[in-house]
Structure formats: C-alpha cells, structure tokens
Amino acid sequence: MRQNDGMTLIVKTVTRISVWMILLYGIYIIFHGHLSPGGGFAGGVIIALAFLNVMLAYGRKFTSDWLNISFLHDVEAASATLFLIIGILGISIGGSFLANFLMKGELFALISSGTILPLNIVIGIKVGMSLFLVVWVLAGSKTVKGE
Amino acid sequence: MIVYLLCFALLLVGLYGVLTKRDLIKIILSLGILGYAVNLLLILFAYRNDSIYPILAKGKEVKQMVDPLPQALVLTSIVIELGTTAMLVALAIKLFEKYETFDITQIRRLKG
Amino acid sequence: MPVEPWLIFILSVMIIASIAALEMEDILSSIVAIGVVGLGVSLSFLFLQAPDLAIVQFLFEIFAVIILVRAFLKKDYHKEKPSTINKILAGVTVITLAAIFIFSISVFELLPPFGEPLMTTAQYYLDNGAKDTGAANLVSSIVLDYRAYDTLGEVTVLFAAILGTFTILRIKSKSKKEKTELDHAAK
C-alpha cells in the first residue's frame, strides 16, 4: 500500500527536527509534575504522540527499524512492575504500602517530594509506551476489504 | 444549578446514542460522550467561588483553593477511558472483519 | 469574572456538537464533532481551575481522534436506512429521557449549589498537603501519595486494556480460518 511508505519529503524533514523537541517537552512535563500542571499522564501522552508522529510521517517499516517494538513491550511491562516494587519498598522502609519513604527536600526544588518524582517517571513511561503500542497494533491490523 | 442540568442533558444525549443507534461507531462515540459528561459533572461539583487552582507557587499568598480530590480521581478516569475506547475500537474492527458491517442488527450470530 | 455564563455557553455548544455527532451521516464529520465536544470539556476544565486536567484532556482528545480516524476512515460500509419501527423506538426513547430530565431537576436541587462544595476531606489535603509530601502541585500529591493505591489500580486497568486489545487483534476470525482450511482440503 502507498500509505506505508510515509508522507512527502517536507513532512519528513519537519518531523526529523520537531520529534526531539516534542520528546524533550514530554520529559520536561514529567519531571515538573510535582511543581506545575502536568505529570506522568500528560507527559506520557506527549511522548506517545512523538512516536506516533514518526509513525505517521515515515511509515511502519521505518519505525519498526528505528524503534525496537518488542523492547518497548518489555519496557511497558517492566514499568508496571517497577511501580509495585516502589510500593513494596514502602512497606519495608516506610511502614505501609506506597509510603513516601524518600527525603522530602525543599518545597519548590526539582529534587523534592520523595517518591512522587520516581512514580511520575514510571507512570509517564507506562502510559507513553502502552498508548503508542495500542496505536501501533490498531494501525497494523489490515481490515480494509480487498487489501 | 443550571450548569448541573446542562451537564446532565449532555449525559442524556450520550445515553440516547447508546440506546437508539445501530451503528457500532456511533455507539462508541456515544460512550465517549457519556464519559465526558460524567468527568465534567464531577469537576463541576468541585468548583468553589473566588478560588484558584490547587497548585502552590513561590512567594504567592495562599488564598482559597478549589477541591483537589475530584480532580485527582478524574485524572485517572480520563486515562482509563482512552484504554477502554481503544479496546472497543479493536472489538469493532474484529467484528467488521468477520461480518463486514457495523450494523448491530446484522451481527446476529454471537458464537464463533 | 463570573464563570457560570461561560460554562453555560460552552456546555450548550457541546450539547449541539454531540447531537450533530450522533445524527450526521458522514463518519469523518462525526469524529470531528466528537473532537469539538472533547475540546469543550478541556476548556471547561480550564475555567473550573483545573489546569492539570485541561492538559490531559486536550492531549487525550487529540489521541482519541487519531485512533478513531485511523481505524474507521478506510472502511467501505453502507449505512442502511432506519426502518419505521426504529423511528418509533427512537421517539419513545427521547420521550423517556426527557421525562428523566424533568424528574431529575428536584434531585439536583438537593445537591450543594454550584460554587460551594462540601470540602471535608479535601480541606485536610489543602492544609497539610505541602507539608506532608513536599509537592507544590497538590493534585499530584493526592494522585501519587495520599491515594497512590488508586493510581496502582489505574495502571493495572490500563495494562489489562492494552493486553485485551493485543489479544483481540491477534486472533484470526473464524471465517478466514475456515477459508484457509477449505483451501488446504482442496489441495
């Protein structure tokens, strides 16, 4: 099919530059989740949209060469496990499940608020990977009649 | 009061779509409308007059803030809604593959 | 600035857009109208002092529109004309829902009025959130500290939904399998 070859050269060139900025913005949103609006959910969706941008502009074949899809599966499953591990560490150190056992730090500093920052990062990875993989699978299913 | 009623009317529009439409795509869209209406109703309950968003800022006097609890619950609810939408889309695609229609009255045999 | 007139305006636009989404013939127009409804929700969150939710809702709306367009646009399907009995049933449904709407007015009068929430548990979070967790964003402190258990449940549901999508799309439908079996039998 024609669409699997991706879009025109203009779109590809713009995408090559803009994808990194979108990724950086997503990472910024994730890391400032405890200081400003945003957090793991919003940042994860931005990361998924960056990958989706590459998939729409360059086509599936290039993307599966560029990204290791089965590795993304592993990352997605591992991040869910990491959330549980942080929770169980809370039992052993803090006394209850998902207790905030790290240093609280200063109020408006970037490295502060204990386990909220690592949990934000874990959720961002989880949401981003799983949403990208859903679109990947949905776009890959050949459903058009006569294809 | 009138805001609540308008939001409830939006929910009823979604319910109308789920009950009367025969097209699978339209049913998925109506479920989306239902989700929007419920989320918005929860946040409407949380609003407080003359207050600001529940985020502290450096050097800013803390005034009244809106209720942060429904915001936290709706935040997770939006993500789950997208997951269920993706799953419904996958089911609809599979049904289209098998029956070559989206009309639910044509999809009779549920087995196999 | 009073919020209520703006909200009434946005909600009216959303109701019109959702009716349009349900009644339009063309599927692309329906999906675009749903996008209008979702962006209206995002705008209302902004007016209701919930910037966290406004960002998330905006991004998820874009994502949902991409998923729906990508999945449904290429389908060649014919919409059939609704029969008379369907029209009658739709009319009965509209009358029933209108009755529900009229009877619900007295229920909404029992609720606390707009702009004056109860704030019993939430006042504790507002007073002690920054001290207990060290996070300036109090919504984030509730999602990931006070009620992190809810978030764990959300992660689990998301995981299950993704796995379900993968499983559904991986199985081959039976009609195709039967076809291939027939082909093998012919050989």
Comparing A64 with C83, the larger pLDDT belongs to A64
Q: What is the average pLDDT score of chain B?
A: 86
- Nearest CB to C165; choose among A97, A134, A139: A134
**Distance (Å, rounded) from C-alpha B7 to C-alpha A131?**
29
Chain B residue numbers touching A36 (CB-CB < 8 A)? 55
Residue C117 · residue B4 · CB < 8 Å: no
Statement: residue A79 has pLDDT above 60? yes
pLDDT at C175 over 60: no
Average pLDDT of chain C, as a whole number: 84
Residues in chain A with CB shorter than 8 Å from the CB of C149 are 97-98
d(CA C151, CA B75): 10
Q: What is the mean pLDDT of residues B54-76?
A: 84
The confidence score (pLDDT) of residue C78 equals: 62
Domain limits at A82?
A: 2-140
Of C10-14, C53-57, C113-117, where does mean pLDDT reach its minimum?
C113-117
pLDDT at A9 over 70: yes
Please name each of the domains of chain B with its CATH number.
Answer: 2-49+64-99 (1.10.287.3510)
Which residues of C are less than 8 Å from A52 in CB distance? 66
Q: What confidence tens digit (pLDDT) does each residue in A88-109 have?
A: 888 888 888 878 887 777 777 7
Find chain A residues with C-beta within 8 A of B55's C-beta. 36-37
pLDDT band at C77 (very low <50, low <70, confident <90, very high): low
* Of B14, B15, B30, B105, residue with least CA distance to C82: B105
Instruction: Let me know if residue A47 belongs to a domain.
Output: yes
- Torsions phi, psi for B48 (to 5 deg): -130, 135
Instruction: Kindly provide the ipTM of the predicted complex, given to two decimals.
Output: 0.89
Segment among A136-140, C10-14, C33-37, C70-74 with least mean pLDDT: C70-74
Say which of C55, C134, C143 has its CB closest to residue A37.
C55
List the single residue in A with minimal CA-CA distance to C155: A80
Residue of B nearest to C120 (CA): B67
More confident residue, A77 or C78: A77
Domain count, chain A: 1
What is the per-residue pLDDT for C133? 81
Contacts of C164 in chain A (CB under 8 A): none
Across the range C27-48, mean pLDDT stands at 91
Is residue A77 assigned to a domain? yes
pLDDT at C82 over 90: no
Measured CA to CA, the distance from residue A94 to residue A89 in angstroms comes to 8
With vertex at residue C140, the alpha carbon angle to CA B39 and CA C120, rounded to the nearest 5 degrees, is 70
Q: What burial letters (b/e) apply to C51-80, b meaning 16+ CB within 10 Å?
A: bbbbbbbbbbbbbbbbbbebbbeebebeee
- In whole angstroms, what is the distance from residue A23 CA to residue A46 CA? 7
pLDDT value of position C11: 93
Show the tokens assigned to B40.
Answer: 């918005």
Partner C, chain A 105-124, Cβ-Cβ below 8 Å: 105-108, 112-116, 119-120, 123
The 3-state DSSP class for residue C28 equals: helix
User: Chains contacting B with at least 3 CB pairs below 8 Å?
Assistant: A, C
Q: Say yes or no for a CB contact (<8 Å) between C135 and A145.
A: no
Nearest to A87 among C71, C130, C152 (CB): C152
Distance separating alpha carbons of residues A27 and B94, to the nearest angstrom: 35
Residue A146 within any structural domain of the chain = no
Inspect the interface and report whether the beta carbons of B10 and C51 lie closer than 8 Å.
no
Q: Which pLDDT does position A47 carry in this prediction? A: 93
Tell me if B45 and C117 make a contact (CB, 8 A cut-off): yes
Q: Which of B3, B29, B91 sits opposite C114 (nearest CB)?
A: B3
Chosen for mutation from C32, C94, C168 (greatest number of chain B CBs closer than 10 Å) is C168
- Best mutation target, C53, C58, C131, C143, to test chain B (most B CBs within 10 A): C53
Please report, rounded to a whole number, the percentage of residues in chain C having pLDDT higher than 70.
86
Record: contact B79-A41, CB cut-off 8 A: yes
CB contact under 8 A, B79 and A36: no
B59 to chain C, any CB pair closer than 8 A? The answer is: no
Asked if B55's CB is within 8 angstroms of A138's CB, the reply is no
CA diameter of chain C: 78
Backbone conformation region of residue C171, classed left if phi is above 0, alpha if psi is from -120 to 50, else beta = beta
The answer as to whether A76 is a domain residue is yes
Judged by average pLDDT, the poorest of B56-65, B70-79, C172-181 is: C172-181
The Cα C170–Cα C154 span in angstroms is: 24
Q: What does the DSSP 8-state code read for residue C137? A: B
pLDDT tens, residue by residue, B83-93:
889 899 988 88
Chains with 3+ CB–CB pairs under 8 A to C are A, B
A52, A134, A141, A142: best to mutate for the B interface, most B CBs within 10 A: A134
Q: Chain C residues with CB inside 8 Å of A126's CB?
A: 155, 158
In this model, does residue C94 exceed pLDDT 90?
yes
Between A21 and A115, residue with greater pLDDT: A21
C-alpha closest to that of C138 among B97, B92, B56? B56
- Which chain C residues have a beta carbon less than 8 Å from that of B96? 75, 77
- Cα B54 from chain centre: 23
